[in-house]
């Protein structure tokens, strides 16, 4: 019996990934979660972080919604990007932007939490 399940990543513009895998690591809002086959049906949303599919596919994500049911994993996100698509300039400008927003004091705790994760994640990318 294969231990693989179906995964699909969809943005409003197109479907950016579709395939089978054994393991997906998701940066869920309440902590990192790993999805394996036969996980119970789940709906949750994401914080900024890295989606890892198997060992080689990595995606940077800022927000999104995840649904897992019947061994189908569905990630809906407006901001998901493959690691290969992000270059250093883009990364730095995104970090600067996030830090600038973080330094303004008009943001809520929730936004702060999200921005902190965003900066941390972006710094990990190389």
Partner 1 sequence: MPSLDDLKKRIKSVKSTQKITKAMKMVAAAKLKKAQESAEKGRPYSEKLQNIILNLTKSISEGSNAPKLLVGNGQDKVYLCVVITADRGLCGGFNSNICKLAKKHFKNILKEGKKLKIITVGSKGHDQIKTEYGDHIIYNKSFKDKKQISFNEANEIGKKVIELYQQEQFDKCFIFYNNFKNVITQIPQAEQIIPTFMKKDDKTKDKVFLYEFEPDEDEILEDLLPKNVSIQILKAFLENAASEQGSRMTAMDNATRNAGELVDKLTINYNRSRQASITKELIEIISGAESL
Site residues (CB under 8 A) for partner 1, limited to 42-61: 42-45
The answer to whether 53 and 46 are in contact (CB under 8 A) is no
| Residue 11 binds partner 1, judged by CB under 8 A | yes
| Residue 17 binds partner 1, judged by CB under 8 A | no
Closer CB to partner 1, 10 or 25, in the complex: 10
Measure Cα distances from 114 to 39, 44, 77, 85, 121 in Å.
Answer: 26, 15, 15, 22, 11
Work out how close the CB of 116 gets to partner 1 at its nearest, in angstroms, rounded to a whole number. Answer: 18
Q: x/- site string to partner 1, residues 86 to 115, per CB under 8 A?
A: ------------------------------
| Residue 29 binds partner 1, judged by CB under 8 A | yes
Q: CB 66: neighbour CB atoms within 10 A?
A: 23
Work out how close the CB of 26 gets to partner 1 at its nearest, in angstroms, rounded to a whole number. Answer: 10
d(C-alpha 4, C-alpha 51), whole Å: 17
d(C-alpha 48, C-alpha 42), whole Å: 19
Measure Cα distances from 33 to 3, 8, 83 in Å.
Answer: 18, 17, 20
| Residue 65 binds partner 1, judged by CB under 8 A | yes
- Which parts of this chain interact with partner 1 (CB under 8 A)? 10-15, 28-30, 33, 40-45, 65, 67, 69-70, 74, 76, 78
């Amino acid at each position: 019996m294969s231990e693989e399940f179906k995964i699909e990543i969809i943005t409003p513009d197109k479907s950016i990934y579709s395939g089978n895998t054994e393991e997906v690591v998701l940066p869920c809002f309440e902590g990192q979660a790993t999805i394996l086959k036969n996980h119970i049906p789940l709906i949750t949303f994401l914080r900024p972080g890295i989606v890892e599919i198997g060992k080689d596919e990595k995606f940077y994500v800022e927000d999104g919604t995840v649904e897992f049911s019947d061994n189908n994993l569905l990630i809906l996100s407006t901001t998901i990007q493959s690691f290969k698509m992000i270059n250093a300039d883009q990364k730095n400008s995104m970090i600067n932007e996030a830090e600038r927003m973080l330094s303004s004091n008009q943001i809520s705790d929730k936004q702060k939490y999200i921005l902190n994760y965003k900066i941390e994640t972006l710094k990990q990318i190389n």
